[in-house]
Structure 1
Amino acid sequence: MIGGFIQHAREKLLPASAQSFHDAERYIAGQFALLKEDNASLRRQLDDMSAQMLRLQESLDREENARDLDRERQLIMYWQLMRREGESLEDTQIRFFRALPKASGIHQLFQDAEAKLFALLSDLCKDHEIQYWGTGGTVLGAFRHGDFIPWDDDVDIYIPRDQLDRLAELVEADDRFRITVLWDWYVPCKQIRFRLADDDNPCFIDLFPLDWVASDPKTAWEQCSAERRAFVDELREAYAHSEWSEEKYIVQGNPCVAGLEERLASRLASLGERLSVLPTSQGATGLIRGIENIDEVRSSGPYPIGEWMPPEKLTFRGVDVPVPRDYREYLRRAYGDYMSLPADMHTHEHVAADYIGSPASIDAMNRFMAL
């Protein structure tokens, strides 16, 4: 029985003869050789394509560099042609930026109302000795334009966490104002805003918390940046299928908010131990951005205390705005060549017109301006 099975297996699985076996072997070897040749040919083609793509990219880079150089040459010529006798290059550039057309229509109304709200916040902080600094486009606008950047609308300030707590207490007792908190899924971040009590008025001042540190400012900045990335990853994973990810924007009262605040507090406590975060400016060597803040397009840190304290003052639409002591270095880090013509000069979007342009919003801003 076993012998019959073996014979059957031979007939089914093995070649009928040695010659057939060798023929099959030669056929397979030939096919393998053809495959190797085809593979080698494909590799040569890929190498050729890679070389061509590299040459093309190098050519595009040369063209882009040439365009950049040509643009720089034209700008240099333009600035020199604009310069008046005895005027520095920077004075010429500031004169140019301050002569640019201002915002118009609904965006002009919004900027005017924003500036008035900023003046009220400035007075409140001055009266109660609350420390803050302008940040981002507010510093650039104050230095370069003495006003809003024409194609920008909002006002941004940095405020140390202890000073933010004091401001919140003052606002709680002042029926003119309120502070709103919103968690934004898109970034994600915690938006804190100073606003008027009037719900219909769309104006706001963005408040970005800072923390005082007693450790090396550069190391603290790097570790804080890493903590920010880890915090974002944690939130993305933990709330991927939550109401927050569906709604995109949530406020106090949403079931997710309590958990978000707990996660933030836990990370701030851990970061505070590692970086020697201080409750006040006493003994501080630097500042770090709160990990709940929206990310910067370009890092403006680190923030050594000597570059920030005591603050300088720049005028923004009639408001004396505290800015970093070395605000030029801050602007250089944040924007690079901050006196160049920006690429988004004609494409940067204002605050959405549908947000500020409703009849109720327009009426509220006009009422505010009439006060």
Structure 2
Amino acid sequence: MGNKKAIGAGDRRHFFKTGFRGAPGTFELSDEQLKELQKTLLEMLKDFIKVFEEEKIFYTLSGGSVLGAIRHKGFIPWDDDIDLNMPRKDFEHLKEVFHKRLGDKYVLCGPECGRGYGMSHVQIKKKRTTYKAFNELTMKDTGIFIDIFILENTYDNPVKRKIHGMLCLALGYILTCRKTAEDWEALKPYLSVNEVLREAFEKKMKFGKLFKWLSLDKVAKCVIYWYSYCGLEDSRLVCIPSGRKHYFGEMYKREDMCQSKNAVFEGLDVRIPKGTKTYMEILYGPDYMQIPKEEDREIHSAVALDFDK
């Protein structure tokens, strides 16, 4: 209750990264847990890259994983995830071969996959593991995961692009609100120590209740239908509606994101976007190579972690 003024005056994005810190029933990973998690993620990435290369599926590292590759030659030391980008057509190919190539060890979770997933990006989760945070409280699949953000085609015509983008933003917001309404009873206990966080989620919950007549899976499928609506494979621009800056904030030249170059990540040969400099500046600003102060580093509070259940 007493931290409302301080948080309200701070940076909103930083607040949502750190707002769950100290919530009852949560913990921050120890150094040993973080190293074990990074080891597991790296093993998963090796499995995926092998299949991607054999199936000729285009991918690159994404977001903080790109930054880790160019700044640290691997994980950002305090980071607990790996992110990938993949064009829509390549993801459709991955869906076709996933069960045969990866289904023995992994589960594919995406907006169109059902099972109450309810998020707009894709995750591949390792079976027989658990890594539960606040997005996974009511999910059926809660394994250790790698995120995939889909590169969607967008229109070169600015009017069509504006209409498509506004529709994607609206639907993406509806999905997050509908998921908050779905998760509300499970989520409430973790909001008790932070009034600002509770108010923000309660606002989403109330709006999401207006769509309770639609299942979470139906809302998610509607969102992905419109995200992927533009079929122009030769458009000048692509975007990542499910990314941290959403549709207009993650608009890129196709050549920058759908072509790649080599990099090294923890000794593993990987691909990063051809336009890495532009990509990093859009996401993190011109000083992206600077190590942030400790208080500005992203915090990942977890509810459960199990490497072999």
For this structure pair, what is the TM-score category when the shorter chain's length is used for normalisation?
0.5 to 0.7
Looking at structure 1, the residues matched to 292 and 297 of structure 2 have their Cα atoms a distance apart, in angstroms, of 10
| Structure 1 counterpart of 2:263, from 306, 314, 324 | 314
Determine whether 1:288 maps to 2:221: no
Determine whether 1:338 maps to 2:265: no
Looking at structure 2, the residues matched to 109 and 192 of structure 1 have their Cα atoms a distance apart, in angstroms, of 23
2:216 partner amino acid: V
* Cross-structure match for 1:348: 297
Q: Which moved more, 1:297-306 or 1:327-336?
A: 297-306
Alpha carbons of 1:104 and 1:265: their partners in 2 closer, same or farther (altered >3 Å)?
closer
The answer on whether the counterparts of 1:111 and 1:153 sit within 8 Å (CA) in structure 2 is: yes
TM-score, normalisation: structure 2: 0.64
Question: Please, which runs of 5 or more residues in structure 1 have no aligned partner?
Answer: 1-102, 250-254, 365-371
Secondary structure in structure 2 of the residue aligned to 1:130: coil
Report how far residue 131 of structure 1 moved.
0.7
* Cross-structure match for 1:155: 82
Highest RCO, 1 vs 2 (Cα 8 Å, sep ≥ 6): 2
2:120 partner amino acid: K
Report how far residue 122 of structure 1 moved.
1.1
1:194 partner amino acid: I
Moved over 6 A (4+): 218-221
2:123 partner amino acid: R
The answer on whether the counterparts of 2:111 and 2:220 sit within 8 Å (CA) in structure 1 is: no
Report how far residue 327 of structure 1 moved.
0.4
Q: Which protein has the bigger helix share?
A: 1
The answer on whether the counterparts of 2:238 and 2:252 sit within 8 Å (CA) in structure 1 is: yes
Question: Please, which runs of 5 or more residues in structure 2 have no aligned partner?
Answer: 1-29, 113-117, 132-142, 188-204, 206-213
Q: How does 1:173-184 map to 2 (within 5 A)?
A: 173=100, 174-181=103-110
Q: How does 1:1-371 map to 2 (within 5 A)?
A: 104-173=31-100, 174-181=103-110, 189-200=119-130, 202-213=143-154, 215=156, 225-235=165-175, 239=178, 242-247=181-186, 256-265=215-224, 267-268=226-227, 272=229, 276-278=230-232, 281=233, 283-290=234-241, 293-296=242-245, 301-336=250-285, 337-343=287-293, 345-346=294-295, 348-356=297-305, 361-363=306-308
Looking at structure 2, the residues matched to 240 and 123 of structure 1 have their Cα atoms a distance apart, in angstroms, of 34
Looking at structure 2, the residues matched to 324 and 220 of structure 1 have their Cα atoms a distance apart, in angstroms, of 26
TM-score, normalisation: structure 1: 0.55
Looking at structure 1, the residues matched to 71 and 226 of structure 2 have their Cα atoms a distance apart, in angstroms, of 37
The answer on whether the counterparts of 1:220 and 1:288 sit within 8 Å (CA) in structure 2 is: no
Looking at structure 2, the residues matched to 241 and 193 of structure 1 have their Cα atoms a distance apart, in angstroms, of 19
Alpha carbons of 1:156 and 1:324: their partners in 2 closer, same or farther (altered >3 Å)?
same
The count of aligned residue pairs is 237
1:152 partner amino acid: D
Alignment root-mean-square deviation, CA: 3.5
Looking at structure 2, the residues matched to 229 and 298 of structure 1 have their Cα atoms a distance apart, in angstroms, of 7
2:283 partner amino acid: A
The answer on whether the counterparts of 1:134 and 1:156 sit within 8 Å (CA) in structure 2 is: yes
Looking at structure 2, the residues matched to 125 and 153 of structure 1 have their Cα atoms a distance apart, in angstroms, of 23
* Cross-structure match for 2:190: none
Report how far residue 311 of structure 1 moved.
0.9
Report how far residue 208 of structure 1 moved.
1.1
Secondary structure in structure 2 of the residue aligned to 1:338: coil
* Cross-structure match for 1:79: none
1:257 partner amino acid: L
Alpha carbons of 1:104 and 1:189: their partners in 2 closer, same or farther (altered >3 Å)?
same
* Identity level (%): 21
The answer on whether the counterparts of 1:313 and 1:321 sit within 8 Å (CA) in structure 2 is: yes
Report how far residue 222 of structure 1 moved.
5.5
Looking at structure 2, the residues matched to 118 and 140 of structure 1 have their Cα atoms a distance apart, in angstroms, of 16
